[in-house]
Amino acid sequence: MSTVELHEQVPDFSLPASTGGSIALSDYLGKKVVLYFYPADMTPGCTQESCDFRDYNGQFAQLNTVVLGISPDDLKSHDKFAAKYELPFPLLSDTDQRVSEMFGVWKLKKMYGKEFMGVERSTFLIDEQGRLAQEWRKVKVDSHVTEVLEAVKAL
């Protein structure tokens, strides 16, 4: 069960970041935060989503908004991914799935007849006071980033 509820304060967390050190959600109080959870570095859908956020990163920044990507991949994988696709925002490493579970995105998935645990692609918009303003679950990549940008503008 998710501990993160719409319109409620998001519990603080800290994760290792591709940019070095750790990043805590509380580091961004006073800014809007777009947290996007994705299954894995270097996969087609995740690459497209990350590159879309990269391409719109300047517009998010103009709206006092920080973008953070989170997946269960380790920092070495994140470093390669961020470098290859020139991602200008931090990727956070949730190797123990603690934060993914907190947001309710660590789910039983099925692919090619096999069941496994993994991240359900989801995005969360957190307001300047640290409250969950909007969520998108079971995200389809096409036009998702523009939808998130419109929600940021409306906030």
pLDDT for the residue 1: 45
For residue 87, is it within any domain?
yes
Question: How many distinct structural domains can be found in the chain?
Answer: 1
For residue 150, is it within any domain?
yes
CB atoms within 10 A of CB 24: 12
For residue 133, is it within any domain?
yes
Predicted confidence (pLDDT) per residue in 132-154, tens digit: 999 999 999 999 999 999 999 99
Residue 33: which CATH number? 3.40.30.10
pLDDT for the residue 2: 56
Give me the residue label for tokens 């709206």: 63
Q: Which letter does DSSP use for residue 63 in this model?
A: T
Active site residue 46: yes
Q: How far apart are CA 152 and CA 49, in angstroms?
A: 17
Residue of 25, 46, 119, 125 marked catalytic: 46
Structure tokens at 80: 């390669």
Q: How far apart are CA 124 and CA 78, in angstroms?
A: 20
